[in-house]
Structure 1
Amino acid sequence: MSTDGGTFEFAQLALASALLKAVQAIGYTKMTPVQAQSLPPMLEGRDVIAQARTGSGKTAAFGLGLLSRIEVGLNQVQALVLCPTRELADQVANAIRRLASTTPNLKLLTLTGGRSVGPQLASLAHVPQIVVGTPGRLQDHLRKSTLDLGAIRVLVLDEADRMLDMGFEPAIRGIVSHTPGSRQTLLFSATFPPEIRAVSGWLQRDPLTVTVNEAPVSVRQRFFEIELAQKNDLLKRLLGRYQPSSVLVFCNTRRDADSVADHLVRSGHSALALHGDLEQRDRDEVLLRFAGGSCRVLVATDVAARGLDIPALPLVISYEVSPDADVHVHRVGRTGRAGAEGVALHLCSPRESARLKSIEPRVPGGIEWEKASLVEGTANSALQAPMRTLCIDRGRSDKMRRGDILGALTGDAGLSSSDVGRIDIMATRSYVAVERSKANAALSRLREHGIKGKKPRVRPIQ
């Protein structure tokens, strides 16, 4: 089943009243195409394999689907969502919690690596109905017999193509072997390579296929033919022309992502690289800085950029043309979300031009070329970040709350609430974005006065 439009009201669905109330409270009214096509069969209990770009509403689709199958009074794990990374698992868990906000006595637990096992074991003593996790940590719990998946009703693989790219198929097979054959299996992916079809073959039973793979019409795409050696100069001129509040630059390799980010930093831009070679903590901090406004340009590989929780990007740039048309559509889908206007720019060297043959049919209105020589933008007009992120060595395990940090900054530190941006509370540390000109003063006052009578270590993230 393929669609690029035709949304319907959520009220038309056979959803429990509590779920409809949550949907209304969040502000959802009309379903997105992937929701309209996948939710009715999911509510009927069918297996579904769905392809749709980032920002298309996939999480709400399978979230509502699995919540509809949960029996709250039954203290067994009834739904399992597999995610490739810890940050995506956290985002999915938060989205499902919002959808379940009006459903009393429902427990959801996130099981991912990079965190102490002890608190997870304590949480598992009170069995959750829903588990969201990463393959490695779920395998750990299954080996220790601390997790029972024998009552699973719904299994979801989110960003399935990325999990296969990361080599998780053996882990997925092992986890699935602990679930009953009668389960409903939902497979969501941004792209449909042959490997996804193969996995669906042994994982699902007569699945309905939903494909929503067109780039959003609110995005204007422009292509620039440019020699490889001139790409860095053109990139800087484009940044100078558009002056975006934030921009995602895609590269095909980790080495190129590092090289482009380094070149931009040397030119005075606030830029960071994101790719699979980063340690988890470094990756977390790059994402937090970009989402919090203390980095303007994120240079990323396609795999690393999957699942980013970035609600609005005015501009994306492909430093290199992707050899995969589905990946091209996924890149474009990072901008122009939720009805907003977006721009996607693509830098194409002569040797990359052959890749456009498969991409052109996926570009609404066809490929629009613009002469690189006519781009008016000051290459030296560097993008500076408006915020600076501070790291506090206290987190959820220390009972740290967002209100504690905000209170300390607007109290002893003397900032106004408008000077304080995004606050993220992790297990053992917290991050807060502060208006750049006030960051040093905030740092000094936090170190001097502390938070709620305690003086945790506070440092700026460089």
Structure 2
Amino acid sequence: MTTADPNDYHRFLENIPFSTFNEMQLRFFRKAASCDGLMLLAPTGTGKTFAYLLPLVQQLQKMDTADRALVVVPSRELALQIEQVFKSLRTGISSCTCYGGHDMKMETNRLKENPGLVLGTPGRLSDHVLNGNLKPGDFSLIVLDEFDKSLQLGFHAQLNALFEQLNRDCRFFLTSATPLTSLPDLLPHREWETLDFLTDTASPGLDLKLVRTSSVEKATTLFSLLTFLSPDSTLVFCNHRDAVNRISQLLTENNFEHALLHGGMEQIEREKNLIRFRNTSRLVLIATDLASRGLDIPEIKQVVHYQLPASEQAYIHRNGRTARMNASGTGYLVLAHDEQLPEYLNRDLPEYDIPKNFSLPEPSSMECLYISGGKKDKISKGDVLGFLTKTGGLTGHEIGLISILETATYVAVPRQKVSALLKKTTEKKLKRIKVKLAVAN
């Protein structure tokens, strides 16, 4: 193998959300073509997905190869995110995404077509292996993304089911946002080339502030803080889903629009809430640590720790949602007087007093619309854009993020134009099928 020239990847820049590659990505590109086992250790939010996807695409697009790639990720949300990133590259390479809660038969039929890229969660991928739908030996490149998280979640048996049948000549890319002192025996490689970018434990652009309150007033203090911070995008972290639900109820009772995310929610509800936050129709997301790893949520201005995690690594991952890619951001720690800072924060932090004069913020200027058609109907983002401009009367720059799921599509549009848009599109056809539009509930 020859070492790749980073200039080979410049052709992808027109389809990705930044104008140049960072040092971590450039160093990964240089090593990718010459290593059979390459491990990338880098903080959340530094662009690891693009670092491994571009060499993967480069390999699959070679004229003299029939190579296929398998990407294994710990969560459904991350699988769906990588699928969107991969499709945004417009490579022409076929793909199949496999995860729990998705139509098993649809995945099975797609796998029969031998797509160039298969990505999914350990549980669903191992199910396909056991059912004979997926043959790990057919893949020449394996990517283990957020591998530490897969181990933490206890996917050893499922991963072993995949690795038992691997082609021993296959190449491995492995990524992690935490140090890996040892690797499990289930991995076929014993020697790894490692690129370690975990030397800095804090985001250089992150400004930390401490908000003191009483235990009784902690929730209302958070409400006051969020009211003052709005309309900037804010991610609030709790340790438990019960706390997420309690805060969500308080915000709902005070007519404060927000989204929420935790593992006890149905998958479609998790997806919809993430979509609302990504497309800025909701500017506040209340979440457990499910939102701290791997999810592509750009432009977050503030992270609020309503409850601090037990481990320093979890704390670092949370803060990695803001001050990403050398940007700046602010982290707020809401601490009751009877609570102690954990040992990993055993240092003086400036205290922040919430201003007294604030009022309930206006909702986001964008609203999220539901369209009753999706991937099953072969609807594309171009189809949605054309429908909303030609039939709905919007201009292209008024239309925000378009998210196409299997049976539904969600799109952000100006809130003030929703009523007129719904009237214009009633009983109209999108790509020859009659669709229903409504405000996403």
> What TM-score do you get using the length of structure 1 for normalisation?
0.84
Structure 2 SS opposite 1:217: coil
Alpha-carbon displacement from aligned partner over 1:136-172 (angstroms, at most 9, x marks no partner): 3212321232222214333222122332343322211
Higher helix share: 1
1:31-180 alignment runs, 5 A limit = 31-33=22-24, 35=25, 38-67=28-57, 69-70=59-60, 72-77=63-68, 79-97=69-87, 101=91, 106-180=93-167
- Counterparts in 2 of 1:46 and 1:228: CA distance versus 1, 3 Å: farther
Residues in 2 aligned to 1:272 and 1:29: alpha-carbon distance in whole angstroms: 32
State whether residues 222 and 370 of structure 1, in contact with CA within 8 Å, keep that contact through their aligned partners in structure 2: yes
- Please list every run of 5 or more consecutive structure 2 residues that lacks an aligned counterpart in the other structure: none
TM-fit CA distance, 1:100: 7.3
TM-fit CA distance, 1:393: 1.6
Letter in 2 for 1:222: K
- Counterparts in 2 of 1:417 and 1:36: CA distance versus 1, 3 Å: closer
Deviates more, 1:37-46 or 1:293-302: 37-46
State whether residues 5 and 30 of structure 2, in contact with CA within 8 Å, keep that contact through their aligned partners in structure 1: no
TM-fit CA distance, 1:28: 4.8
State whether residues 208 and 349 of structure 2, in contact with CA within 8 Å, keep that contact through their aligned partners in structure 1: yes
Residues in 2 aligned to 1:54 and 1:444: alpha-carbon distance in whole angstroms: 43
Residues in 2 aligned to 1:397 and 1:100: alpha-carbon distance in whole angstroms: 19
State whether residues 267 and 382 of structure 1, in contact with CA within 8 Å, keep that contact through their aligned partners in structure 2: no
Residues in 2 aligned to 1:177 and 1:93: alpha-carbon distance in whole angstroms: 25
Deviates more, 1:329-338 or 1:411-420: 411-420
Letter in 1 for 2:244: A
Q: What's the C-alpha RMSD, in Å, of the aligned pairs? A: 2.9
- Please list every run of 5 or more consecutive structure 1 residues that lacks an aligned counterpart in the other structure: 1-12, 361-365
TM-fit CA distance, 1:377: 4.7
Percent identity over paired residues:
30
Residues in 2 aligned to 1:81 and 1:199: alpha-carbon distance in whole angstroms: 18
Match of 2:350 among 369, 389, 395: 369
Match of 1:206 among 191, 201, 215: 191
Please name the residue that 1:436 is paired with. Answer: 415
Structure 1 SS opposite 2:204: coil
Please name the residue that 1:21 is paired with. Answer: 11
The reply to whether residue 270 of structure 1 matches residue 257 of structure 2 is: yes
State whether residues 316 and 334 of structure 1, in contact with CA within 8 Å, keep that contact through their aligned partners in structure 2: yes
TM-fit CA distance, 1:24: 7.2
Deviates more, 1:329-338 or 1:407-416: 407-416
Residues in 2 aligned to 1:224 and 1:304: alpha-carbon distance in whole angstroms: 22
Deviates more, 1:59-68 or 1:434-443: 59-68
Deviates more, 1:300-309 or 1:122-131: 122-131
4+ residue stretches of structure 1 with deviation over 6 A?
Answer: none
Residues in 1 aligned to 2:233 and 2:218: alpha-carbon distance in whole angstroms: 19
Please name the residue that 1:363 is paired with. Answer: none
1:378-457 alignment runs, 5 A limit = 378=357, 380-382=359-361, 384-452=363-431, 454-457=433-436
Structure 1 SS opposite 2:340: helix
Residues in 2 aligned to 1:61 and 1:254: alpha-carbon distance in whole angstroms: 33
Please name the residue that 1:3 is paired with. Answer: none
Query: Matched residue pairs, number?
Result: 435
Alpha-carbon displacement from aligned partner over 1:19-71 (angstroms, at most 9, x marks no partner): 343257645534334x3554544433153443322211111222244445545
The reply to whether residue 291 of structure 1 matches residue 274 of structure 2 is: no
Residues in 1 aligned to 2:44 and 2:13: alpha-carbon distance in whole angstroms: 20
State whether residues 236 and 378 of structure 1, in contact with CA within 8 Å, keep that contact through their aligned partners in structure 2: no
Structure 2 SS opposite 1:441: helix
State whether residues 204 and 326 of structure 2, in contact with CA within 8 Å, keep that contact through their aligned partners in structure 1: no
TM-fit CA distance, 1:305: 4.0
Residues in 2 aligned to 1:320 and 1:157: alpha-carbon distance in whole angstroms: 30
Please name the residue that 1:339 is paired with. Answer: 326
Structure 2 SS opposite 1:150: helix
Please name the residue that 2:176 is paired with. Answer: 189
